[in-house]
Chain A
Amino acid sequence: TAGITQAPTSQILAAGRSMTLRCTQDMRHNAMYWYRQDLGLGLRLIHYSNTAGTTGKGEVPDGYSVSRANTDDFPLTLASAVPSQTSVYFCASSEGQGGGADTQYFGPGTRLTVL
């Protein structure tokens, strides 16, 4: 089973350029999330979607946008990249039914370097 896939695996991007990080899950999960992970800071939530057609802002949303046109896909777009967006980006999903563990499952990550 694929679970969650992310693309690309890594990318070097010039500052000012735009880029979309792709995330696809095949578990039919309602909720999806985007995190960034930086050394010493842990995982921080950028944006989330509780169900297809809805999105919300997390802890660090500035400079990023998301869309959720269907259940499976949750792309993250950087409109004009800046060096501070250099990070490892993880997509995650959960059933999103509320109650219980509602465990989040993570994709393999995208390592982004903005120069």
Chain B
Amino acid sequence: GQNIDQPTEMTATEGAIVQINCTYQTSGFNGLFWYQQHAGEAPTFLSYNVLDGLEEKGRFSSFLSRSKGYSYLLLKELQMKDSASYLCAVRDSDYKLSFGAGTTVTVRA
């Protein structure tokens, strides 16, 4: 099974940078995903890491350390529309996703 931990809430100012950490314990690791979910909407895919290191995609970057069971999602140049929940998900050897409870990010002007 998976045990996935991420902070419940974070607040940041428009234009700033926020880093959302995710730690996991897994019986079999086959990739880590970050999803964004606006209130009342479906989760949408942000990033995927399967090897150690940083994946950059525009204002969003995701980092993975498999040996430490650790990932973070970095949001740069925050915009008001980035206010949402960010879900960390780990895929196991059976290709099933287990999700953390999500981190609600509030961006303030």
Contact = CB atoms under 8 A, between A and B. Distances in A.
Interface of A: 31, 33, 35, 40-45, 48, 58-59, 90, 96, 98, 101-109
Interface in B29-52: 31, 33, 41-45, 48
Contact of B100 (A35, A42, A58, A104): A42
Given A101-B48, A103-B48, A106-B44, A42 B87 contact: yes
B74 interface: no
Contacts of B95: 31, 96, 98, 102
A40 B6 CA distance: 11
A31 B97 CA distance: 13
A1 to B, nearest CB: 15
B81 interface: no
Contacts of B98: 45, 59
Interface of B: 4, 31, 33, 41-45, 48, 87, 89, 95-102
Contact of A90 (B31, B42, B48, B96): B42
A98 to B, nearest CB: 7
A105 B45 contact: yes
Given A40-B101, A106-B43, 15 more contacts: A31-B95, A42-B4, A42-B101, A43-B89, A43-B99, A44-B99, A45-B96, A45-B98, A48-B96, A58-B96, A103-B33, A103-B48, A104-B45, A108-B42, A109-B42
Contacts of B89: 43
B30 to A, nearest CB: 9
Contact of A45 (B31, B42, B48, B97): B97
Contacts of B100: 42
B35 to A, nearest CB: 8
B102 A42 contact: yes
Most buried by A among B4, B44, B89, B101: B101
